[in-house]
């Protein structure tokens, strides 16, 4: 089971959008995928139209003694499952103040094998929940819009992940940056993309996610752009980025996909080349 955390200390950089669409694309490629919403503001849960869950069927349940992943009823969507966030996460945060409270999610996921990939969506703030994500993960993806504040947030997140790697989770790989909401017409976007590529070279995912109105649309019925607008830039960009991630992370070696249906979803994708800075 491969655990991936989506983090950026800056908000609005595409963490939640990436969690949903990487999950959907991996699901279409035949992987068994679970997304866990660890953001107390529950944007992922709400975007997918999932109602406020009982605490026992929410990500809060991961922070209980003797809980196994199979005890938590995940919501089944088109191609992936979700453990939604509960509004009670905020209230419980104050109680989770012991050093060992960063270990809850890791312990639950360590003993589970019902999924091939688990994606952890986090809030912009560094909280016990985002630390749990970094401690449980093998890989961190930092979605970043090529603009000043998201880049600063992304570099801070890189440092936080490196600190977690040194002190708490030696299994954690160095983070990977994923450019989101890229607008080729903006000169500043070119500059910030060049800056990050120069500085972090192969830690930057080559395929970028461009701005796409289809991605900004919330369908609220658990479906994604792959069902609703499969030929949109959003669908093609996330299909391409997911294919690259599967290769880069070596997930393909762990479990050959049963279907190759992202091909069916985005037939034009082979003609899409990553944009050059």
Ligand X SMILES: Nc1ncnc2c1ncn2[C@@H]1O[C@H](COP(=O)(O)OP(=O)(O)O)[C@@H](O)[C@H]1O
Chain positions contacting ligand X, by CB under 6 A: 8, 11-17, 43, 180-181, 209, 211-212, 215-216, 234
User: Is residue 104 at the binding interface for Mg ion, with CB under 5 A as the rule?
Assistant: no
Residue number with CB closer to ligand X (60 or 123): 123
Residue number with CB closer to ligand X (152 or 216): 216
User: Is residue 16 at the binding interface for Mg ion, with CB under 5 A as the rule?
Assistant: yes
Cα Rg, the chain, nearest whole Å: 17
Q: Which residue number places its CB atom closest to Mg ion?
A: 16
Smallest gap from residue 66 Cβ to Mg ion (A): 30
The two tokens of residue 233 are 């830039």
User: Is residue 15 at the binding interface for Mg ion, with CB under 5 A as the rule?
Assistant: yes
**Measured distance CA(53)–CA(59) in Å, rounded:** 9
Inter-CA distances, 44 with 99, 145, 171, 186, Å: 27, 18, 27, 28
Candidates 13-21, 162-170, 233-241, 255-263 — which segment interacts with Mg ion by CB under 5 A?
13-21
Residue number with CB closer to ligand X (16 or 132): 16
**Measured distance CA(140)–CA(80) in Å, rounded:** 20
Candidates 36-44, 47-55, 85-93, 174-182 — which segment interacts with Mg ion by CB under 5 A?
36-44
Bridge partners, 142 (sequence order): 177
Residue number with CB closer to Mg ion (15 or 21): 15
Candidates 37-45, 57-65, 104-112, 151-159 — which segment interacts with Mg ion by CB under 5 A?
37-45
**Measured distance CA(161)–CA(174) in Å, rounded:** 7
- Compute how many other C-beta atoms are within 10 angstroms of the C-beta atom of residue 67: 15
Q: Helix and strand tally (H, E) in the chain?
A: 12, 7
Kindly state the DSSP code that residue 94 receives in the 8-state scheme: T
* 165 contact choice in ligand X, Mg ion, none (CB below 5 to 8 Å, kind-dependent): none
SS3 content of the chain, % helix, strand, coil (to 5): 45, 10, 40
Mapped onto helix, strand or coil, the DSSP state of residue 3 is strand
Smallest gap from residue 223 Cβ to Mg ion (A): 19
The two tokens of residue 263 are 């091909």
User: Is residue 43 at the binding interface for Mg ion, with CB under 5 A as the rule?
Assistant: yes
Residue number with CB closer to ligand X (34 or 215): 215
Residue number with CB closer to Mg ion (37 or 243): 37
Residue number with CB closer to ligand X (125 or 260): 125
Side-by-side strand order, sheet with 176-179: 75-76, 81-83, 33-37, 117-121, 2-6, 139-144, 176-179
Smallest gap from residue 166 Cβ to ligand X (A): 25
Smallest gap from residue 18 Cβ to ligand X (A): 7
Estimate the crossing angle of helix 233-249 against helix 15-28, to 10 degrees: 80
Smallest gap from residue 184 Cβ to ligand X (A): 13
* Site residues, Mg ion (CB under 5 A): 15-16, 43
């Amino acid at each position: 089971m491969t655990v991936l955390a989506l983090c950026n200390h800056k908000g609005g950089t595409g963490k939640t959008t990436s969690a949903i669409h990487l999950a959907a694309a991996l699901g279409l490629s035949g992987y068994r995928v679970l997304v866990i919403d660890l953001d107390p503001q529950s944007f992922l849960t709400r975007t997918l139209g999932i109602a406020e869950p009982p605490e026992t069927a929410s990500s809060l349940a991961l922070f209980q003694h003797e809980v196994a992943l199979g005890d938590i009823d995940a919501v089944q969507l088109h191609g992936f499952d979700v453990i939604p966030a509960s509004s009670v996460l905020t209230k419980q945060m104050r109680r989770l103040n012991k050093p060992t409270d960063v270990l809850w999610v890791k312990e639950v996921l360590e003993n589970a094998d019902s999924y091939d990939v688990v994606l952890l969506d986090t809030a912009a703030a560094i909280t016990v929940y985002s630390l749990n994500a970094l401690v449980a993960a093998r890989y961190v993806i930092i979605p970043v819009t090529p603009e000043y504040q998201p880049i600063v947030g992304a570099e801070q997140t890189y440092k936080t992940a490196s600190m977690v790697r040194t002190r708490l989770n030696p299994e954690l790989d160095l983070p990977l940056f994923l450019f989101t909401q890229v607008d080729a017409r903006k000169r500043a976007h070119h500059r910030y993309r060049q800056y990050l590529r120069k500085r972090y070279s192969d830690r930057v995912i080559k395929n970028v996610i461009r701005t796409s109105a289809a991605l900004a649309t919330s369908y609220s019925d658990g479906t994604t752009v792959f069902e609703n607008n499969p030929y949109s830039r959003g669908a093609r960009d996330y299909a391409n980025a997911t294919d690259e991630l599967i290769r880069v992370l070596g997930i393909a070696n762990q479990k050959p996909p049963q279907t190759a249906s992202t091909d069916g979803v985005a037939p034009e994708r082979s003609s899409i080349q990553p944009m050059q800075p």
